[in-house]
Amino acid sequence: MARRGVIEDLQALRRFGAVNFVESSFGGDGRAKGVCRPALSKADLDARLWFAERCADAGLTPRIDRFGTVLAGKGGLLCGSHSDSQAQGGWLDGALGCAYALEVAREVPGVSAVNFQDEEGRFGTLTGSRTFCGEDLDFDAMSLSPEWAAPKQTLGEALEAARPTLETSNYFFDGFLRIEEHHRGFFEAHIEQGRRLERAGLECAGVSSIVGLRQLRITAFGEQNHAGTTLTVDRRDAGRALLRLCAEADEAFGHLAGWAQDLVWTFGIVDLKPGAASIIPSLAEAVLQIRDPDDDVLGAAEDTVRELAKRAAVDVRVSHDRPPLLPTPMDEAMLGHLREAGVETEMRSGAIHDAASLARAGVPAAMLFVPSIGGVSHAHHEDTRDADILKGAQVYVEAARRMTSSSPR
Amino acid sequence: MARRGVIEDLQALRRFGAVNFVESSFGGDGRAKGVCRPALSKADLDARLWFAERCADAGLTPRIDRFGTVLAGKGGLLCGSHSDSQAQGGWLDGALGCAYALEVAREVPGVSAVNFQDEEGRFGTLTGSRTFCGEDLDFDAMSLSPEWAAPKQTLGEALEAARPTLETSNYFFDGFLRIEEHHRGFFEAHIEQGRRLERAGLECAGVSSIVGLRQLRITAFGEQNHAGTTLTVDRRDAGRALLRLCAEADEAFGHLAGWAQDLVWTFGIVDLKPGAASIIPSLAEAVLQIRDPDDDVLGAAEDTVRELAKRAAVDVRVSHDRPPLLPTPMDEAMLGHLREAGVETEMRSGAIHDAASLARAGVPAAMLFVPSIGGVSHAHHEDTRDADILKGAQVYVEAARRMTSSSPR
């Protein structure tokens, strides 16, 4: 069967950090394909060493840097994605783009393959691809995001811990790999992670732009006290204030979404301290993530939260939990090559991808999406039909061929 | 100075699990007196062994059982409280009643002293005093409440771990101590943990009744998915549903409190799973504690939550996180003795105390409250003025003297 290598590569990659977990409520194909391969974990590093070997098999000379970012080949069209996963991740998020890049490396001359580190944000936002694009990040100031259940460490410490494993590779590069002048563009395939393609019955889509994102940390400061003896009038209940603020923000965003129909928002983390049934919380925190293709909508949403914070019953501080990301358009010429390769539709990406780092750095960037069953992602039962994976690979290879044979930027 | 022994005993007890923590925002006397002495921790067991020795010094023969509950003396009026603390507790909650019991033991004939295990609910509700009153609890089915940061273990396992320490005592009793027929009543002193006494400028109060309590666990079941690519219409967001339900319940309780003025409610625990900024929560839980002197009010509040749960955007289950506690009146004759000893006021207790276990078991029970500075409790900066501690001890000893010389029940 054509392009069977893509499925085999995905299955091989899936073994690194495989989670044997069957969620019976899953309406998909019933196979459990979850992975736990967080950036710089043992499973992640092993997967990257594996990826470097596969690049060498395809005839591209790989290097693997202190991050575990793999760059194979010299110049030309850069193809790839990332192989790190969410803590409770699926087998295709990032991995699909890596497998497609290997397929292109085997079939199309004039390409390089890349596998970026920490796209999922274990330590920051797009840490690997931003470093690759020349940003100087302070690794010792970047520490594990609280949602990643693991020992607290800075990125600098995690890199030191990873070094012995990376050094075992013949391809180890003792530094950080950077984008090269002769890279003519970046082309990334990814699962859609939404339901638009599935609903429309389409096999793939080009990506016109990547949404902007603001992530706010909302912190309410109250006074710890006894939950039975403290009268309501005497309370400075941080938990109650935060819960009300979140519900009011949710209500307001609902109205905002009336005209900003792509707006999505998520309270993914809520934490009360000290966190006991009999104690009034002294501290309450929520992390709110807001995404929209229009930065003005993001600004309006943030303003709403700041207004609500001013009116809260206790002191509330609102801060950026990570630097805001502006909406990022993809390269028009490369979108043209995708259309020539048979891609009939375009959509915005609600997810952030490494392609955004490269586009922001001035590198022409494009993306191809394949359908996600039920729109599920960032979950163990994330999946895509084999036929869609294979069709996507065919389109990806064809588009890459066109991109490499067009005149360089 | 009169009754200086009480202060010395409290200071000695404070050393077990002392937390060296100064909270600069504290408006009290500025000294840090926090303790961390959770039930069956090393600090807790050491404090109990110390308490048994002090009982022996006072001339009462102590026994310390497999729980670490200490019972000293034979029959008569049972005086005491508990010496275990909250994980982030103060130096007086429970300890005050233990120190007063030692003082009575030194001064009044015909009393016994008791120090119950796990009043704070590390493993359950009033586990020590309920066992003492004859309830047969299934220790292996009772495990650490999630808010107690410690290794997960059942109460049975914790008791096994405690045994070597308890066995070092000459007073070790290899079983569980129980109430005796010839105990004529139970008399417990405690800090108020609220601000009523302080506001009224009073030195102490008798307790007319102990409030009822319902603790509900509210669990919302959603579907884990990507926080960027999943359209609002496609989401089954457990976190969003829970936040809205909590805010709506809070609003409804505010109306309910219009006529039920003693009603208090606390969302002390909220947890979203998997708990990541970029992931729509699949599971969201809150623990809601409701207290009121009127069980009908508690019923109305619970009904409100159940109605809101039915109307939530995702499936929500409401369950009793621990068995409901009915409001419990204190003994009228003993309240009379308190008045004779000079206590001028009575109040309801918004906190649950071991006295409730004994009253429910049919033992006449009474309580004396002393003021809490700023009403603060279940916090490191919980405190009471020395003068109030000493005055309370004087009243407690006088009332106990009257209770022991009245005709037995």
CA-nearest of B116, B178, B86, B107 to B404 is B107
Calculate how close chain B gets to A277, using CA atoms only, in Å: 5
Query: Do strands A76-82 and A111-116 pair parallel, antiparallel, or not at all (unpaired)?
Result: parallel
CB contact under 8 Å between A375 and B230, yes or no, is yes
Model confidence band, residue A287 (pLDDT cutoffs 50, 70, 90): very high
- B residues 359-398 closer than 8 Å to A (CB): 372, 375-379
Q: What is the largest CA-CA distance in chain A?
A: 76
Calculate how close chain A gets to B322, using CA atoms only, in Å: 11
Could you read off the pLDDT of B110-156 as tens digits, one per residue? 999 999 999 998 888 899 999 999 998 888 888 776 556 566 788 99
Q: CB-side exposure of A35: number of CA atoms within 13 Å?
A: 29
Question: Can you give the pLDDT at residue B142?
Answer: 82
- Tell me the C-alpha distance between A7 and A12, whole Å: 9
What is the SS3 assignment for B93? coil
- My answer on whether omega of the bond before A151 falls inside 30° of 0, hence cis, is no
C-alpha B5, offset from chain centre = 25
CB contact under 8 Å between B230 and A276, yes or no, is no
CB contact under 8 Å between A275 and B147, yes or no, is yes
CB contact under 8 Å between A239 and B270, yes or no, is yes
Q: Is B209 on the interface with A (CB under 8 A)?
A: no
Q: Is A209 on the interface with B (CB under 8 A)?
A: no
Angle formed at CA A277 by CA A273 and CA A281, multiple of 5 degrees: 30
Q: Which ipTM did the prediction report?
A: 0.82
What percent of chain B lies above the pLDDT cut of 90?
Answer: 79
All structural domains of chain A = 4-211+328-405 (3.40.630.10), 212-325 (3.30.70.360)
* Cross-chain CB nearest to A287 (options B120, B268, B277): B277
- Tell me the C-alpha distance between B185 and A239, whole Å: 40
Could you read off the pLDDT of B157-205 as tens digits, one per residue? 999 999 999 999 999 999 999 998 889 999 999 999 999 999 999 999 9
CB pairs under 8 A between A and B: 246
* Chain A residues lying within 8 Å of B213, measured CB to CB: 228
Task: Please compute the mean of the pLDDT values over residues A224-244 and round it to a whole number.
Answer: 93
Backbone angles phi, psi at A251, to 5 degrees: -60, -45
End-to-end CA distance of chain B: 36
CA-nearest of A384, A370, A375 to A202 is A370
Model confidence band, residue A2 (pLDDT cutoffs 50, 70, 90): low
Question: Residue A102: left (phi > 0), alpha (psi -120 to 50), or beta?
Answer: alpha
